[in-house]
A and B are shown apart, each in its own frame.
Chain A
C-alpha cells in the first residue's frame, strides 16, 4: 500500500494553462509538504501544511495555490503555467512536522511547452 501517492506522474501542458497535482498520504501524519526539484536538482520546499493549516509558504509565485481539504490530502494548483515551472514536484508528509523524517511521493514531472 503506497504511503504517499501523487497523481499524475507526468504532466505535459502548454504555457498559460491551469493544472493541478493531487497528493494523498495514508500514514496518519499531521504535516504535508510540496517540494520542487528544478533542472539543477535543487530540492526546495514550497509549502507545508499542518492539520490543514498553512505553516510554510516559501517565496512561491501566487500562481501556485495549495489546498488541503483534510490532513491526508494536499493538492497543488498552478495557474497560468510558465516555461520555468517545468520541474519535478514532490509531495511529502511527516509525523509532526518538527524534525520527524519526511516521506516522499514518487514525484510529478511537469513539462510546460
Chain B
C-alpha cells in the first residue's frame, strides 16, 4: 500500500520558469512532510519541510504548499535552474514517530 504518491515520474521545465512537483498522500495521520533532492550516485539530501499546522513554507527559491483537506502537497521552484535537475522525493511522517514514508520520486530536468 503506497501511502505517498508522486504520480509524475518526470518533468521538464525551461530555465527561469517555475517547476511544480506534486505529491499526494493517503494516510490522514501524516502531519509532517519533507522534500528531498537526489543527484545520481548520491544519497537524497533534505530540501524543505512543512508541518500540518502550516499551509506554506518558503526557503529561498523553494516553497512547499500543503492542502490537508486534499491530502496534497506541492513543491514550487522559482526560478528553476539547470542545477535543480535531479530526482525529488516527497516524504511524510507522523510527528513523534521515526518512520518516514517516501514517494517514488519525480525526475526534474531543467533545460538551459
**A positions within 8 Å CB-CB of B:** 4, 31, 33, 40-45, 48, 50, 55-56, 58, 90, 92, 97-99, 101-107
Contact = CB atoms under 8 A, between A and B. Distances in A.
B98 A106 contact: no
A45 B43 contact: no
B43 A4 contact: yes
Q: What size tier do the contact residues of chain B reach?
A: 20 to 34
Given A42-B104, A99-B93, A105 B99 contact: no
B96 A43 contact: no
A41 B41 contact: no
Given A99-B32, A101-B34, A101-B49, A43 B98 contact: no
Pairs of residues from A and B, 5 with the lowest C-beta to C-beta distance, nearest first: A104-B43, A101-B46, A43-B102, A97-B98, A41-B104
Given A99-B32, A101-B34, A106-B42, A41 B98 contact: no
